[in-house]
Amino acid sequence: MSTQKKVAIVTGAASGIGKSIAQLYAQRGVAVVLSDTQSELGEQVVEHIRHTGGEAVFVAADVSQPSDCERMVSVALQRYGRLDYACNNAGIGGEQQPTADYSIEGWQHILAINLSGVFYCMKYQIPVMLASGGGAIVNIASILGQVAFPNAVGYVAAKHGVVGLTRGSAVEYASQGIRINVVGPAFISTPMIQSFESDPVLNEMLISQHPIGRLGLPDEVAELVLWLNSEKASFITGSYYPVDGGYLAR
C-alpha cells in the first residue's frame, strides 16, 4: 500500500515525549509508525490517534535489537510505501550511582538502548529515505548531551554519544537530501522523572535549575522536533537544539 501522506517513525512512542511527538504528527496529517516495548500503552496511543481522525500503526520493537529496528522500517514501507521523517526518541534513565559503583550490566544496558538504539534505527531508516530522494531525522539526546549530572554517567555518556552520532551522519548525508538534527530537552514532566517529581525537595531542586521556573512539557519538545523535521528547517542539519527553559544558559 502507498499513501499520499508523509510518513513518520517515532520510537518510544507509548509514553511521554514520544507519545506527544506521535500525536502531533498525526494532528498535522502525517501517518505515524509508533514503536515501543510497551505494547499495550502503544496500542492505546494508536487507538486515540485513529479515534481523532489520524493514521497510525504500532510496532512492538526494542531499539537495542537491530532486527527490531529493521522490522519497524519494513512495517512503514509495507503499510505506507515510504518514510519521510523519523524521531529516534526511545530511552531510559538508567542507574543512579557514581562511576565506580555503576554496574557493568547497567552501563551496557543503557548504552545499548540510548546510544546503539539510535544508531540501529538510523542505519535502517537512511537507505529507505535515500531511495525516495530524502527525509529528515531528529534524535532525542538531552541537556546531558552537553553537560554533566552526578550519578548518571551511563546516561550522560550515551547522550553525548547521540550528539556525536547525529553530527557524524548529518555530514555524510547532507548532500543527498537527508537532514539529521538532535534535540536536547532539560527536565520534562514525563513518567521517566516521576520519582524525582514526587519527592518535593528533589522537585524544587530540579525546578530551580531552569530559569523559566518550571519543568518542561512533552508538547514543548514535540513542537521543536516537528519544526526541525519540516521543510521550514530546510537549511538546518547536524545541529544540537536545546529545549531547556534556560538550563544551559546559566
Catalytic residue numbers read 155
Q: Which is nearest to 90 in space by CA: 145, 156, 138, 23?
A: 138
Q: Alpha helices, DSSP H only, in the chain?
A: 16-27, 39-51, 66-80, 104-110, 117-131, 153-173, 194-197, 200-208, 218-229
Instruction: For the CB of residue 219, give the shortest distance to ligand NAD in the complex, in Å.
Output: 12
Residue whose CB is less far from ligand NAD, 36 or 95? 36
Question: DSSP letter at 116?
Answer: I
Which residues contact ligand NAD by CB under 6 A?
11-12, 14-18, 36-38, 62-64, 89-92, 113, 140, 142, 185, 187-188, 190-193
Query: Interior CA angle at 7 toward 6 and 12, to 5°?
Result: 145
Instruction: For the CB of residue 155, give the shortest distance to ligand NAD in the complex, in Å.
Output: 7
β-bridge partners, 181 = 138
Residue whose CB is less far from ligand NAD, 6 or 19? 19
Residues in the chain, overall count: 250
Instruction: For the CB of residue 1, give the shortest distance to ligand NAD in the complex, in Å.
Output: 25
Backbone φ/ψ region at 240: left (φ over 0), alpha (ψ -120 to 50), beta: beta
Residue whose CB is less far from ligand NAD, 128 or 162? 162
Instruction: For the CB of residue 183, give the shortest distance to ligand NAD in the complex, in Å.
Output: 8
Angle at which helices 117-131 and 66-80 cross, to 10°? 30
Residue whose CB is less far from ligand NAD, 20 or 169? 20
Name the grid cell of 119.
Answer: 544508531
